[in-house]
Amino acid sequence: MPTNMPTDWRSLVRMTYNPKRLAKLGSAHIEARATYEAARDAMLPEVESALRAKVKQVEIVKLTGLTRERIRQIGKELGIEQ
């Protein structure tokens, strides 16, 4: 790490406030969240299909990045025994 860079968040807070940059980053965050939610919603029917086909949770985890617990919750919500 360069020696002239702040080493903790308190030093970063003292840096100059830039409302335009903050607004731009806020917009990017909102767009990223919307993209994430759309991808998640599109993925759920495929997860359901995999669960109904008796694909092992570990395989679904590898393919989706969801946790085993989340896979279990989805199955429970859909009434699919695992």
Q: 79 pLDDT exceeds 70?
A: yes
Domains in the chain: how many in total? 1
Q: How sure is the predictor about 78, in pLDDT bands with cuts at 50, 70 and 90?
A: very high
Question: For residue 57, what are the domain limits?
Answer: 19-78
In a domain, 67, yes or no: yes
Q: How far apart are CA 10 and CA 6, in angstroms?
A: 8
At 69, which helix (H) or strand (E)?
Answer: helix 68-78
Overall pTM > 0.75: no
In a domain, 6, yes or no: no
DSSP 37: H
Q: What is the model's pLDDT at position 16? A: 79
- DSSP secondary structure, 39-64, as one string: HHHHHHHHHHHHHHTT--HHHHHHHH
pLDDT tens digits along 16-55:
788 999 999 999 999 999 999 999 999 999 999 999 999 9
4 against 75, higher pLDDT: 75
